[in-house]
Amino acid sequence: MRVQLLPSTFDSQGQATSDQRLTCFLIDECVAVDAGSIALALTPEQREQVRDIIVTHPHMDHIASLPIFIDDLFETLTSPVRVYATPEVIDLLERDIFNWNVYPRFSELKNEHGPVMEYVPIPTGKEFRIAHLTVTAVAVNHIVPTVGLLVSDGKSTVAFSSDTAETDEFWNLINRAPGIDALLVETSFPDSMAKLAEVSRHFTPASLQRDLRKLNHNGLDILAVHIKPAYRKLVIEELQALNVPRLGVMEPGKTYSW
Ligand SMILES: [Zn+2]
Ligand SMILES: [Zn+2]
């Protein structure tokens, strides 16, 4: 499975910077996990292929350019953009984003080929299929309804924590899997901001280390994501000091294969 964390900011030469402000992972060039930077960073080829988008929760950094993505494609779509989310998250997207005020309610609009956007409600704790992938979503511990994901293509398996603080179900889900190749896990704040991390339900390196003790698998790649750009250097130093085997930081723009 190939996974790319799409970049969300670019330097003056147009190169992706290592700061991550928005969240959007692209799996095998066709399925997106979250849609923060989806309209900003896809290549024209990827833009033609991505029609399946899983939204883990409705925070702006995870959906910022989803409306723009659909808007860009509106005239040319020959099949709807499918937005996979739990029923609670679908309700929030409809209430707060696609509400005719912030943006049009695309789920009610059609072009000459038919609907342009379709919601696909997803269960929690039960496998479902998206394209060639098998996905399981479970609730994680964030301030709005949010799911973490376990995604398999039949050969390799990758877990996405989404935004969370200490949690159990997500680790139980991973531990039940026969094997796991990579864990992409959020580490938003440095340890000195533990209080803010706690109230906003995010990990710091220290709280991540405590939660990683719940993980039974060994030998997987663990890549930190969702590091607040202002504290990136400090968070990386604190992560390195943990001495967790195969723990690194995911670089925006780079494609990883497992
Ligand atoms: Zn969030
Ligand atoms: Zn976030």
Distance 164 CA to ligand 1 centre (A): 8
Domain spans in the chain, listed from the N-terminal domain onward: 2-257
**Global model pTM greater than 0.85:** yes
Could you list the pLDDT tens digit for every one of the 258 residues in the chain? Answer: 999 999 999 999 989 999 999 999 999 999 999 999 999 999 999 999 999 999 999 999 999 999 999 999 999 999 999 999 999 999 999 999 999 999 999 999 999 999 999 999 999 999 999 999 999 999 999 999 999 999 999 999 999 999 999 999 999 999 999 999 999 999 999 999 999 999 999 999 999 999 999 999 999 999 999 999 999 999 999 999 999 999 999 999 999 999
Residue 23 is predicted with a pLDDT of 98
Distance 228 CA to ligand 1 centre (A): 12
Distance 57 CA to ligand 2 centre (A): 8
What residues contact residue 233 under an 8 Å CB cut-off, 6+ apart? Answer: none
Distance 200 CA to ligand 1 centre (A): 8
Closest CA to 163 of 61, 249, 258, 241: 61
Which helix (DSSP H) or strand (DSSP E) does residue 69 occupy? helix 66-73
Q: How many CB atoms are closer than 10 A to CB 170?
A: 28
DSSP classification of residue 134: E
State the burial class of residue 194 (Cβ atoms within 10 Å of its Cβ: 0-12, 13-18, 19+). Answer: middle
> For domain 2-257, is the CATH number 3.20.20.70?
no
Which helix (DSSP H) or strand (DSSP E) does residue 85 occupy? strand 81-85
Alpha-carbon distance of 1 to 234, in angstroms, equals 30
Distance 184 CA to ligand 1 centre (A): 15
